[in-house]
Amino acid sequence: MKGLNRVTLIGNLGADPELRTLEGGVSTCSFPLATSEVYKDKQGEKVETTEWSNIVGWRAVADNMNKLLKKGSSVYIEGKLKTRTWTSKEGEKKYMTEVIVDQFILLKDPK
């Protein structure tokens, strides 16, 4: 049986989108997305935790994200997880997991 790689997030941009154009004219856009959760601890105190995700869009999705989104925007994201690896200048193997966006909806523009 094949697996399902699907991610749905609602959160806020932690920085303005960064648009880049690669060889061949392919555009990519990336930004950090904060998703927060609120719960009560054993003492009944409210605790808020925030997770940061690396968001990446390609081609038309990238262009639209760059046009519509900015730091603080609230956004709905659908996509898939992808982990890339590389070797640093010091020879150390590095990993980064990203959400590759299929579609997004701007929920609220920051004031």
Range of the domain at 58: 7-108
Instruction: Tell me if 2 is assigned to some domain.
Output: no
Domain count of the fold of the chain: 1
**Contact residues for 87 (Cβ-Cβ < 8 A; gap 6+):** 93, 94
Res 110: pLDDT: 80
CA dist., res. 28 & res. 57, Å (int): 6
Please write the tens of the pLDDT for every residue from 27-78: 999 999 999 999 999 999 999 999 999 999 999 999 999 999 999 999 999 9
Has residue 69 been placed in a domain? yes
**Residue pair 41/52 in contact by the 8 Å Cβ criterion:** no
CATH number at residue 58: 2.40.50.140
Torsion of CA 100, 103, 107, 111, to 10 degrees: 60
Please report, rounded to a whole number, the percentage of residues in the chain having pLDDT higher than 90.
95
pTM of this prediction? 0.89
